[in-house]
Structure 1
Amino acid sequence: MIAIEYVLAGAAVLILFSIIANKVSGRLGLPALLIFIFVGMLAGSEGPGGIYFDDPFIAQSIGVVGLALILFSGGLDTRWTEVRPVLYKGLMLSTVGVALTALVVCAAAIFLLGFSPLEGFLLGAIVSSTDAAAVFSILRSRRASLKGDLRPLLEFESGSNDPMAILLTIGAITLLMQPGTSFFSLVPLFVQQMAVGGLLGYGMGKGAAWLINAVKVEYEGLYAVLTLASALLIYGLTTIVGGNGFLAAYIAGLVIGNSAIVHRKSLIRFHEGIGWLMQITLFLTLGLFVFPSELLPVLVPGIIISIVLIFVARPIAVYLSLLPWKMKKNEKLMISWVGLRGAAPIVLATFPLIAGVPQAQVFFNLVFFMVIASALLHGTSIPFVAKHLGLAAPLPGRSRFGLELDSPEDSRNELFELVVPHGSPASGKQIVNLGLPAGTLIILIAKGSEQFSPRGATVLEDGDTLLILTTPDAAQAVRRIITGETEMEPDEPEPPEGGWPWGSGFTWGTTKPPENERGRL
């Protein structure tokens, strides 16, 4: 029995080494997940570390907890105003897109690798979803920034597509282990998982937001403990009652993060740290769990199926899923390329191991190889592809004023910076003549190296950086006045020729929420 001191010291060394390695990898353009996995492999039984770990149940348990907290953290730091315009696209990608990906990979596994139909479908189901941890890590880093609503669309897809992949994986395992079972008998399970997960995630998220404001704890640090316990409760309780805990965790985070709660910014920072800790722990564990020597026999089939997944299955799924919407070709190409696979497929690959599926280890090794291939290709090339397609946005910079922007605790005001772009309608105008909404104040202006508090007669110029205090309801209007950009609205699918079968009275949702609800969930 190893003493706990050695376990704690070893875990700390691995985490510290992963953080340092990630700093170096960022300069080389390598994604974090790849570094964490490699550190785990080096620490494993076939690496210099010599740590033997071969327990699929523990690996799966760590993966499940890690994914739940990563999804909660991702939802907490996502603005509903960014998600709402891409809601229907994201839902289509996370359901139909996942199913199409699984089917294309299944066909390739049958015809190119000689798998049986059910084995091919199981492989396709396991790798059918993009990974939230990988997508959040890449798109929220300082290496990649995308124009328009591409980033929120890809993040929402990755945060909401796990339920479909889990259903398909469980369904494929059930069909393999229980011959004669009809796949259609699993449809009610999918409906139940989605409905219960969505409703409990929203309801318990609302309840958690109310509790955060109502509990009035004496020590500020306890609010972080409260939200962490809430995230675990939401996942656990939803799963117990038959819903999808991952979906519930993401939706609950989205609800809480877009609610008026105390210490909102500090809670987001806390859970961002928890999310990174979970990523490191999760990928280290999965790196320890794999045996590199077992990857060599799946090298050729792994390359073949990876090529199919990246260059065939993902593009087909994206293009067919987004057919109802008019989108530019370069945007669809970008969405097709950001098909990052990470922890979620590897965790799903432990399901066949625990269920005792024949050749389950082959499935795990294949999936692990495909994740490495995706991380190497996708993770290193996203900034280049975005720039080549004309979709790279300027990387977010630091505050010109040396401030950490944080809205007041009552969340009735929003504090943010805006740069007056070249050709802005506000350029050359006095502040008093801008027509800013009531309750809006420009607190500071940075002109070159000079910073000062403006007056109504102050004239704005191209390149000025403004520190603005306004209400959440007026924030979009202020941005529109200063930058000239229009507010994004939700896209609605184009009706087929002859109209929708349910008639023209059906609506996909109001294009704008009531004014008193703008910016809040």
Structure 2
Amino acid sequence: MSAHILTGLTAIVALGVAAQWLSWRFHLPSILILLGAGLLAGPGLGLLNPDDLFKDTLLPLVSLSVAVILFEGGLTLRLPEIRQTARVIGRLVTLGVFISWVVVSLAALILLGFSPSVALLLGAILVVTGPTVIQPLLKHIRPTAEVASVIKWEGIIIDPVGAMLAVLVFQAAAAAGAKAATWGAMLGVAKTILLGGSVGAACAAALVVILRRYWVPDFLENALILMMVLLAFVLSNYLQPESGLLAVTIMGIFLANQGAVSIRHIIEFKENLRILLISGLFIILSARLNLDDLLKITPQRALFLAVVVLVARPVSVFISTIFSPLSWRERAFMAFMAPRGIVAAAVASIFSLELQHIGQPQGALLAPVVFQVIAVTVAIYGLLAPWVARALKVVQPDPQGVLLVGAHAFSRQLALAVEEEGFKTLLVDTNWANIVEARRLGLPTFYSSILSGCVLDEIGLEGIGRLFALTSNDEVNSLAVIHFVDTFGRSEVYQLPPEGRGFGCPEPVSINLRGRILFGPQATYSRIMARIRAGAKIRKTRVEKGFRLPEEAWPLLLVTEGRKLRVFTADSRLEPRPGQTVIWLEKPPQSSSGPQERSEGGARPPFPPRQDTHPQG
């Protein structure tokens, strides 16, 4: 194998991963850094030439990579998220697309001097937004739940819609006569929706059957799913050109919303693969650009970019959301969120070559204009969107509340102390008596198993940013942590220390199957409940200079001066400072608690007795 091929492939991976790390480290939009790295390695220093490296396989590889990225996006779309906003999303991807297409096409025709066919094609390409840019932005900004849901769904669904529209415009431009073009476009839309949707749903259903009946071993599941995604994409494109992106998106949505098999491991694999694909694609596509064309910002191009950002998006959003349940603030924020991403870059690169092949010289300008739009929109939205969201007051406050698994006496006391400090709580339990007592105290509750599939869809988590698994069952605690690790992140899922030691093993629950240990290794369920039954209470103390906790008190939580909730854990000890508030569990009166606590420290039976018969009690 030629050394320059190995060097080129290694450079693509290294630059992509390095750009993603720099993006994370400095809180910048990753695509901006990827774009800069590709330009530097390609036209800047001449170190990378993708056309020479990949030759005829370049565009097929780009198409397959985009298919995998959209499939992964479809896996994140759950139907319960859009109960209140389905009509808004439907308008945005139909009426909103049409409005954006018309406005951008007219701007390209008038300001850039493009021919009608190229202007319409450019408008079709730029109707898309960028889910690969939007989703990291949404995580960083944390807008209200409805707005976040609408923007996420729109960004993922609109990509195949925009790609399909671009293909139909290109085919219509090549057709002879307006009548033939109109009829061909209508027929193309119908065939794309019918065949793309059918192929995607059929492949997803086949996967569900295969996985449900265990026809493949675990180590082949991810490989099988990747194969099926590529198969669906290619088969759909064979039956109807450029319907493959719709097929893989439908396939992802179908898998995300079925309840027959678990897809957690699929999502994890595809998320990791998506990062590598996005990084590599942006390095490759930006390295192909002509630096002079990209940096050429004439007054006409500047006006065109202004129309894309300040006219096309706001007009399409405000018209599409008329009579919607969204407030004007939410609509205004949505009008300020339309960064373009990898799909626009890939489609523009493909059609730029197609136009040049059929003798259209303006095709060479298509990709640079689209990449200018990508760079400008990512920079504007990525850098200003957090400020705009705060100014419009559509940002959820930093979620400091607690989801408590188990509503027993200790959980209720802890929830009351947290609520008194102004933070939200929610107690989930299968023990009805515990739920009733918690409600009597005015605490919010949810009567269900924390492991139920409906919990994530039914409970409201606004203002809640961490999980405390406090049940008497170590296995339930660990499963609850695993269930919510994607929701809160590994650093914010906690559980009580497991009881006793493993039988034949040094630890009762593997470190890979548990969350962070709450309050310290001594604070097991049985020891905590022994104190509670003996009359111990949870106390709060405002820290002053020289403060020390009473002897044998267990610190639980710390409220900082900035109203942040911090957790005492086995892996990080907090040092209270003056002005902060410590929430702690006192030692009960010696007369009633001494024997119980001394017995806790002595020999334990092989199977410690549970304190109740309900796993979440």
The two structures have a TM-score, normalised by structure 1, of 0.75
Distance 2:83 2:205 in 1: 18
Are 1:14 and 1:39, in contact at CA under 8 Å, matched by a contact in 2?
no
RCO higher in structure (CA 8 A, sep ≥6): 1
- Segment drifting more, 124-133 vs 443-452: 443-452
Tell me: CA distance 1:154–1:52, structure 2 relative to 1, closer, same or farther (3 Å): closer
Cα distance, 1:20 vs. partner?
2.4
Establish whether residue 385 from structure 1 lines up as the match of residue 382 from structure 2.
Answer: no
Tell me: CA distance 1:210–1:53, structure 2 relative to 1, closer, same or farther (3 Å): same
Are 2:135 and 2:152, in contact at CA under 8 Å, matched by a contact in 1?
yes
Aligned residue number for residue 153 of structure 2:
156
Stretches of structure 2 lacking an aligned partner (at least 5 in a row): 405-416, 428-432, 440-444, 452-467, 472-493, 497-517, 540-556, 560-564, 568-617
Cα distance, 1:316 vs. partner?
0.5
Question: How many residues get paired?
Answer: 444
Q: Which amino acid aligns with 2:255?
A: I
Tell me: CA distance 1:455–1:361, structure 2 relative to 1, closer, same or farther (3 Å): farther
Q: Which amino acid aligns with 1:146?
A: P
Distance 2:142 2:375 in 1: 23
- For residues 262-341 of structure 1, what are the structure 2 equivalents within 5 Å? 264-341=263-340
Distance 1:177 1:269 in 2: 42
Tell me: CA distance 1:366–1:17, structure 2 relative to 1, closer, same or farther (3 Å): closer
Q: Which amino acid aligns with 1:94?
A: V
Q: 1:228 aligns with which of 226, 229, 243?
A: 226
Distance 1:70 1:399 in 2: 33
Aligned residue number for residue 488 of structure 2:
none
Tell me: CA distance 1:15–1:48, structure 2 relative to 1, closer, same or farther (3 Å): same
Distance 2:115 2:7 in 1: 46
Are 2:418 and 2:425, in contact at CA under 8 Å, matched by a contact in 1?
no
Aligned residue number for residue 13 of structure 1:
11
Tell me: CA distance 1:398–1:39, structure 2 relative to 1, closer, same or farther (3 Å): farther
SS in 2 for 1:49: coil
Establish whether residue 26 from structure 1 lines up as the match of residue 29 from structure 2.
Answer: no
Are 1:202 and 1:251, in contact at CA under 8 Å, matched by a contact in 2?
yes
SS in 2 for 1:161: helix
- C-alpha deviations, 1:22-53, integer Å up to 9, x for none? 22233433211222222121221442525363
Tell me: CA distance 1:399–1:269, structure 2 relative to 1, closer, same or farther (3 Å): farther
Distance 1:424 1:162 in 2: 37
Distance 2:168 2:267 in 1: 36
Distance 1:285 1:57 in 2: 14
SS in 2 for 1:38: helix
Are 1:59 and 1:289, in contact at CA under 8 Å, matched by a contact in 2?
no
Q: Which amino acid aligns with 1:181?
A: A
- C-alpha deviations, 1:93-113, integer Å up to 9, x for none? 112211110101122223333
Cα distance, 1:273 vs. partner?
0.6
Cα distance, 1:377 vs. partner?
0.9
Distance 1:465 1:203 in 2: 48
Establish whether residue 360 from structure 1 lines up as the match of residue 363 from structure 2.
Answer: yes
Distance 2:425 2:273 in 1: 42
Distance 2:418 2:232 in 1: 43
Are 2:222 and 2:266, in contact at CA under 8 Å, matched by a contact in 1?
yes
Cα distance, 1:266 vs. partner?
2.0
Establish whether residue 192 from structure 1 lines up as the match of residue 191 from structure 2.
Answer: yes
Tell me: CA distance 1:137–1:235, structure 2 relative to 1, closer, same or farther (3 Å): farther
Are 1:173 and 1:352, in contact at CA under 8 Å, matched by a contact in 2?
no
Aligned residue number for residue 607 of structure 2:
none
Matched-pair identity in %? 24
Aligned residue number for residue 163 of structure 2:
166
Are 2:16 and 2:279, in contact at CA under 8 Å, matched by a contact in 1?
yes
Establish whether residue 259 from structure 1 lines up as the match of residue 258 from structure 2.
Answer: yes
Aligned residue number for residue 351 of structure 1:
351
Q: Which amino acid aligns with 2:223?
A: V
Are 2:402 and 2:426, in contact at CA under 8 Å, matched by a contact in 1?
no
Distance 2:41 2:18 in 1: 15
Q: 2:447 aligns with which of 428, 437, 443?
A: 437
Aligned residue number for residue 178 of structure 2:
181
Cα distance, 1:82 vs. partner?
1.5
Cα distance, 1:5 vs. partner?
5.3
Distance 2:59 2:346 in 1: 6
Distance 1:212 1:84 in 2: 29
Aligned residue number for residue 143 of structure 2:
146
Are 1:68 and 1:249, in contact at CA under 8 Å, matched by a contact in 2?
yes
Cα distance, 1:299 vs. partner?
4.2
Distance 1:230 1:90 in 2: 28
The two structures have a TM-score, normalised by structure 2, of 0.64
SS in 2 for 1:340: coil
Which protein has the larger Cα radius of gyration, Structure 1 or Structure 2? 2
Distance 2:125 2:165 in 1: 8
Cα distance, 1:443 vs. partner?
4.2
Q: Which amino acid aligns with 2:233?
A: Y
Q: Which amino acid aligns with 1:256?
A: L
Are 1:163 and 1:194, in contact at CA under 8 Å, matched by a contact in 2?
no
- Segment drifting more, 392-401 vs 351-360: 392-401
Distance 2:173 2:114 in 1: 13
Tell me: CA distance 1:315–1:394, structure 2 relative to 1, closer, same or farther (3 Å): same
Are 1:73 and 1:268, in contact at CA under 8 Å, matched by a contact in 2?
yes
SS in 2 for 1:25: helix
- For residues 33-48 of structure 1, what are the structure 2 equivalents within 5 Å? 33-48=31-46
Q: Give the CA RMSD over aligned residues.
A: 3.6
Cα distance, 1:302 vs. partner?
2.9
Cα distance, 1:176 vs. partner?
3.5
Q: Which amino acid aligns with 1:315?
A: P
Q: 1:51 aligns with which of 46, 49, 65?
A: 49
Distance 1:95 1:56 in 2: 37
Distance 2:374 2:111 in 1: 19
Distance 1:157 1:426 in 2: 31
- C-alpha deviations, 1:85-143, integer Å up to 9, x for none? 43332222112211110101122223333334333222211211112322234334xx2
Tell me: CA distance 1:452–1:258, structure 2 relative to 1, closer, same or farther (3 Å): farther
Are 1:159 and 1:247, in contact at CA under 8 Å, matched by a contact in 2?
no
Are 1:70 and 1:132, in contact at CA under 8 Å, matched by a contact in 2?
no
Distance 1:96 1:72 in 2: 24
Tell me: CA distance 1:438–1:364, structure 2 relative to 1, closer, same or farther (3 Å): closer
Distance 1:380 1:425 in 2: 33
Distance 2:74 2:538 in 1: 36
Distance 2:279 2:470 in 1: 39
Aligned residue number for residue 79 of structure 2:
80
- Segment drifting more, 188-197 vs 49-58: 49-58
Stretches of structure 1 lacking an aligned partner (at least 5 in a row): 402-418, 467-521
Q: Which amino acid aligns with 1:203?
A: A
Distance 1:395 1:168 in 2: 40
Q: Which amino acid aligns with 1:145?
A: R
Distance 2:311 2:33 in 1: 27
Distance 1:370 1:438 in 2: 48
Tell me: CA distance 1:97–1:293, structure 2 relative to 1, closer, same or farther (3 Å): same
- Segment drifting more, 167-176 vs 119-128: 167-176
Distance 1:444 1:102 in 2: 54
Distance 1:460 1:196 in 2: 62
Distance 2:213 2:274 in 1: 26
SS in 2 for 1:44: helix
Distance 1:94 1:131 in 2: 13
Distance 1:52 1:217 in 2: 37
